[in-house]
Structure 1
Amino acid sequence: MKRLVIITVGKTHSGKTTFARGLEQQLYNSIVIDQDNHAEFINTYYRSLLPQKGPNTIKYAVTQTIVDYAVNQTDFHLILCNSNRSERARLNLLKNFKNKGFITILVHLDIPDHILQERVSSSHRSTAIFRTASTFEEVLNRQQAESHSDPIEEEADYLFVIKDTEEIQLVTSRITDIANSLD
C-alpha cells in the first residue's frame, strides 16, 4: 500500500500544528507527529539531558524513534509537523521517505511576517517547548533573521503553498484526494 508523508514547513505561529491537526481529521488512517510535543515532554521530564549548545539531539532522537516506529509498524499516512526550514535537512528527510516508497508532500505555510508578529504578540501557547528561547517573539525574530530556502516543486512529489488561512481547506481537500487516488 502506498502511503503519504506530509511535511509542514513554516515559521513559528504560521499554522503548522493547526493545519496538521485539521488534516489528520480529514485524512483517513493518518497520524500527526509533532516535534513540539517531544520538546515539551523532554523539557518537563528530562531537562537535565538537554544539550547546552548546538542541536537538540535528544529531541531529534525521540522524534526519529517515533517516526521509525510509525513507518515500520503501522500503515498510517504520516503528517510531520515541525518547521523543516533547513533545506539540507528537509531534502535528506524527503529522500529517506522516497526511498521507503512514500509519496512526499510539502506544505509550506508562507504567512506574511506582519501576521506572524501579530499572532506571537497575542499568543497564549505554552513556552514549555523552549530550550534556549524565552518567548515566541524571540523565536520569530531569529527565524526572520535566518536565511533559509523556501521549498521548491522539485523537492517533493507535491508542493502546496499556503499564504492565507483561507487556503487551508483547499489544500486539505487536495491532499485527501491524492490519498483517495491511491486506493
Structure 2
Amino acid sequence: MTKLVVERFDRSQVTRQMLEEASSLFNEHYGLRGHVPDNYNRYCPFKPGPPGNAADLPPCDSSTHHEETGSRVRLSADLLLAKFLPDGSRGCYLRATVEGIFAGYALACRWAYGDRQVCWVTQVVVHRGYRERRLATALLMNVRDEGDDIFGITSPHPAACKALVRACGGRMNFLSLFFFSSTLPPISWYQRKYADN
C-alpha cells in the first residue's frame, strides 16, 4: 500500500518554497485554456469584487483572455498567494505527498458570514500521475474544520465537485446561486488576465 501524507499549514506558516512548489504543480498539471466565446462579456458568471456589489462591478473583459487556446493555464507563486490566500484571510494550504513525492495541494479561506463560519476551497490541484486515487478527497477532508457551517469549492470541474461530495460524507445540501454570489469574499481568482504575472 502506498503511503499518503497530508500536511496542513495556516496561511502564516506558508513559505515561499511551498508557493513555488504549488505554482509549479499548477502550471504543469492544472489544465489548458479553452476558447473564449464572443459573448463572454455577457455571460461571465464570475466578476471580481467585494461581495454584495454586483451592480458596481466592471464587466468581464474577454480582451484580457488573449492566451492561445490549448496553452497551459499558468499562475505565479505571488499570484497564488494574493488571489487564493489573500491578506487578512484565515486561509490554509494543504500538501499531499505519496511515498514522499509532492502529488497535490488545496487552498482554502474561511470567514464569518453572520453567525456562520464559511469555508471555500479556492483551489485543488492533483498531479496527473496521481489522479483517480482520491487524493483530492483526502485533501478536502483535511480542509474541513468542525466549526465550518458552510463548506464549498470554487471549481466547476466534475472531479473536484465529486471529491467535495465524498469529503462531506457523500451528502450535500445545495445552495442557491444568490447565496454564492452574495457571500463570496473579495477574492478575484477568476481574473485570468493576471494569471501569467
Fold shared by both chains (TM-score > 0.5):
no
Q: Which TM-score applies when normalising by structure 1?
A: 0.29
- Structure number with greater CO (CA < 8 Å, separation at least 6) is 1
More helix by proportion, 1 or 2? 1
Q: Which TM-score applies when normalising by structure 2?
A: 0.28
